[in-house]
Amino acid sequence: MPHRKVIRSWLLPLSERSTWRALVLLAFDYALLAALLAGVVLFDSVWLMLLCGLAAGFVIGRLFVVGHDGCHQSLTPHRKLNKWLGRIAFLPSLTAYSLWDVGHNVVHHGFTNLKGVDFVWAPLTREEYDALSPLGRLMQRIYRSGWGPGMYYMIEIWWKKMMFPRKSVMGSTNRAIFTWDCLLVTGFAAVWIAALVAAALVTDQSVTLLLLLGFVVPMFFWFNMMGFVIYGHHTHVRVSWHDDRAVWQRAQPFVSTTVHLTFPAHIGNMLHHIMEHTAHHVDMSIPLYKLKAAQAKLEELLPGRIVVQPFSWRWYFDTARACKLYDFTQNCWTDFKGRATSAPRAMPA
C-alpha cells in the first residue's frame, strides 16, 4: 500500500472548493425542506402528509452532509464561512456543530476502527457483552439486529454525546462553545415545534397530528438514515477492528476500515455522495460534489484494496447477523456466543 501522502497526491486536483456551489446546495436543500414541511401542513390527505414528513427526514440527511463538509472545512475555501454554513446546515438534524467537530473530525477520523478510542459502532468483545446487565445485552441485540440503527444513533451518539453531554463523556474538556451549540439546536427545535403548533391552530388541525408528521416523523427518518449510513460505512465482514494502536497503524486504517456502498438509480447522488466513503477518509478536504470522481480514482489505482459492496437488503441483514461481536485475538467477527462468523484475518506485519 502506498503511503497516505502519495495516495492523497493522486486526489489533489479534486480538492478545489467552490463558495457559490456550496451556497446553492444549502439554499436548495433548505427550500426543499421548507416545501415538504409546508406539504405536511397544507395537504388534506394524511398519507400525503406522512410522505412529506418522511421525505423531509431524507432532506435533513442531505443538509447534514452539507454541514458535515462545512465541519471538515471542505465546503468552501473560507474557514469562518464554513463554520457558519456548517452550523446552519446542521440545525434541522439538531446536531451541535462543535461537539460533532470533536467526536467526528478528531476522534472518528483520527482513530477510525481503533477500539477504545473510536466510538462509532465499536463492537464489543464476548467478555464485554457478557459483563453487561440484561438490559445492556438487550440493547446490543436491538442495535445490531439490522432493525435498530436509528435507536443506536439516537441514544448512543446523539443523546449521549451531542446533546449537553455529561462531563464523564467529554472528560476534562469544559468548553462554553459546546453549551452554546447545544442551546442553538435546542432553540431551533423549539421554534420548529412552535411553528407547527401555530400552523395547526391557524388551519384548525390537530396539534398532535402535525407535531407527529411534521417533527417526529422527519426526526425518526433522520435518526434511522444516519444510523444506517454510518453502520454501512464501517461494518462489513471484510472490515477489521483493532485494539492495538501499533497494529492499527500498520493496517492503513484510512483505506482498510471503510466501505464503498453502491446503490442503483442514482441513490448515492441523492445522498450527496457520502457513500463514496473511502475517498472521504483518505482526504477529508475533498468536497462532496467531487467524492464520486475521487472514489473512482482510488478504485482504479488501488484495485482489490478497497471494499466495494453493492447494496441489497439481503447483504445488509446477512451483515447484521454476522457482525455482532468482535474477537480481537482471531481478528474476526463473531455472533453473540463468540462463534466466528467471518474468516480470521492476518495481522498486518
87-119 confidence digits (pLDDT tens): 999 999 999 999 999 999 999 999 999 999 999
**N-term to C-term CA, the chain:** 12
Q: Give the pLDDT band of residue 174 (cuts 50, 70, 90).
A: low
Give burial (CB, 10 Å; 0-12/13-18/19+) of 31: exposed
pLDDT at 13 over 60: yes
Q: 36-40, 246-250, 317-321: lowest mean pLDDT where?
A: 246-250
pLDDT at 180 (0 to 100) = 95
Q: What is the mean pLDDT of residues 182-197?
A: 98
**Residues 128, 125: Cα–Cα separation, whole Å:** 5
pLDDT at 173 over 80: no
164: left (phi over 0), alpha (psi -120 to 50) or beta: left
pLDDT at 348 (0 to 100) = 65
**Residues 315, 313: Cα–Cα separation, whole Å:** 5
pLDDT at 21 over 80: yes
For residue 307, which amino acid is it? V
pLDDT at 23 over 70: yes
Share of the chain above pLDDT 70, in %: 97
pLDDT at 1 (0 to 100) = 75
Residue with cell 420548529: 192
Residues in contact with 150: Cβ distance below 8 Å, sequence separation at least 6, in sequence order:
220, 223, 224, 225, 226, 227, 228
Which parts of 12-117 fold into alpha helices (H)? Answer: 19-42, 46-71, 79-90, 97-100
pLDDT at 346 over 80: no
Set of cell numbers at residue 164: 449537553
pTM of the model: 0.93
Q: Give the pLDDT band of residue 249 (cuts 50, 70, 90).
A: confident
Q: Give the pLDDT band of residue 266 (cuts 50, 70, 90).
A: confident
pLDDT at 171 (0 to 100) = 62
pLDDT at 330 over 60: yes
For residue 338, which amino acid is it? G
Nearest to 121, CA basis, from 98, 96, 151: 151
Residues in contact with 86: Cβ distance below 8 Å, sequence separation at least 6, in sequence order:
67, 68, 69, 70, 71, 75, 97
Residues in contact with 261: Cβ distance below 8 Å, sequence separation at least 6, in sequence order:
232, 233, 268, 275, 277, 309, 310, 311
**Residues 271, 279: Cα–Cα separation, whole Å:** 15
Q: What is the mean pLDDT of residues 317-324?
A: 97
Q: What is the mean pLDDT of residues 50-70?
A: 97
Q: What is the mean pLDDT of residues 184-193?
A: 98
Q: How many residues does the chain have?
A: 349
Average model confidence (pLDDT) for the chain?
A: 93
pLDDT at 17 (0 to 100) = 93
Exposure pattern of 163-186 as b/e (b: 16+ CB <10 Å)? Answer: eebeeeeeeeeeeeebeebbebbe
